[in-house]
Structure 1
């Protein structure tokens, strides 16, 4: 008798959920599944899909493992090949005046395949929204289907949706983000950790002249972070690929850049700052006020103020806006989830993937990479699936995922808390000297203390 093809349901069509979908389809010659993917959004452009991200060698390797060649061939749409001798796909950390503190060694490669095959830390700057578009191509996502819970039986899992419908499956994978209803039911004791740090993010179109000034101060790395005296941090990540512009701005090339500014939340509380988070202009004014208050008058401060002045204060005309979707700037509290903060996970037909299990601080750029690695590891574990051993397959994945991601959550958390701790003038001297010493060792011996070994 022909064995029934098992059904896998994925809730969440982000990078992790889509990578997992493709991996199961790619491996159907080894193990065939009926795969269904559901997303709470009403359509692919319903919600803004994120900033630039760095796909590192671990994430790139897993992404290529997950994708069939027909999808992988389109990856340059989301992660264009580095421009030789112009772009440096690396990371630099400076103080509040632009003086270099850290620039870990990073190998430069021709494309994502070179990054994937690297044995040392490397990364490629990627447009998150365009990468998602690539992963969505020809995927039968069922839109407008928000999962609100599930019920396990001996035979499988009933998955319930907000519209009143339900679906039955053999395996349920919650890839539905930090507020995942699947996680809240499966591991209700798993709590969100709040950093006490406020962060504001934005995507902007930056003229070449301003990018040139930034490079002159901070160097040519595409990831650039600066540390202030009061726990304030600025972050800029960009590509030197000209974007399409409206007619009146074609006098010089413009580049897409992602900005972030963070600071200890208590600074707002101490001054009783009032900001209208529903008014982008109010948030932008607040960011610029904080930069002026916390940073000294210098070229770097002026460039940061000019960058934030480029952020749209009102919803732009979509015909003229250079990005497909627009996200009004908002203040957000930084948070994470350590999946090993509970004593034990009970493996079952229901498991978690990506931010649903281990949302982490964006400081080290490990969130998307871990979600894609989850997809790779889980798909490989399910190659051995049978109705009799499904628990061992899920447990194999969860054991690896919990160990790997908890280490990265805590590494990102510790790095975030250190960088966001006020140090004052004399503390800055000590901190900067320590970082410069670490930088000397890393570059002298070609060793990166911060990469995963």
Structure 2
């Protein structure tokens, strides 16, 4: 199956084309009844409408209101530590990274002791350099401990740990880590959390994306399912509007129930698949081959930048 990857900030900017956005809004309350819904914000303003769509991420305030349960009760910590680095490469080093993967590549092997992901943020205007980032992840059941070493270590100490762990890699695969300066290491540790919900109430409040089914990035499916959610929900809302049913609470609840049921079934399967995928990356099958099927070697395709 083809894998399409997009740089998130550029994708978001494109999606915002011609949309009037009010930034800095923080939901404090949501009131909804048979007649409609009103959302109240921290700045003292409010907005009224027919439907509230909670597409507000892993720590969704809309979800908290809808379920009357805090995120801490619902989110599961994924036992996987992560160190993140960023750097700019140019010239031959830039070419070598593009040869390994034009957009991104993974380092996955049970013997490595870590899972690696390297991605190209964007190519700079000169066409001969680019901004990269990488994630270095290891199984770690204590990652959420407030005394975890990643909570207190310096950027240099984090980088030293990565360099020590990757020292056995071939030079072309460890180069991205060795070229990263200490100041390119993200200071705060990244803790992955996922979310699997069995059901959602049917009302004028609906959820989509990470607010409903946050998942690890191991399969790269989080944004994909958010898009599917949005497309399916848009069709449901368009039909309610066409039928003039937005003021019929029974019709609204029926439509929302159908959307939520399909979305949670599909999204929950993706959450479980993503969760098992990072676990499978650390295994070998009984025949000795990598447990994950469909793995391919890096192409190492020669790259020549235009002069």
TM-score by length of 1: 0.56
Q: Any gaps of 5 or more consecutive residues in structure 2?
A: 298-307
Q: Any gaps of 5 or more consecutive residues in structure 1?
A: 1-120, 246-251, 314-327, 444-453
- What pairs with 1:23-422 in structure 2 (closer than 5 Å)? 121-188=1-68, 191-214=74-97, 219-220=100-101, 222-227=103-108, 229=111, 231-238=113-120, 242-244=123-125, 253-266=128-141, 274-275=149-150, 282-283=154-155, 285-293=157-165, 295-296=167-168, 298-300=170-172, 302-309=174-181, 312=184, 328-340=186-198, 344-385=199-240, 386=245, 387-388=247-248, 389-419=251-281, 421=282
Q: CA deviation at 1:297?
A: 5.7
Q: 1:432 to 1:254 in 2, by over 3 A?
A: farther
* Cα shift readout 1:95-152 (whole Å, capped 9, x = no counterpart): xxxxxxxxxxxxxxxxxxxxxxxxxx21333121011111222211112211123122
Partners of 1:264 and 1:351 in 2: how far apart?
Answer: 34
Q: 1:268 to 1:295 in 2, by over 3 A?
A: farther
TM-score by length of 2: 0.80
| Runs of 4+ off more than 6 Å | 267-270
Partners of 2:195 and 2:211 in 1: how far apart?
Answer: 9
Aligned residues: 285
SS of 1:435 mapped into structure 2: coil
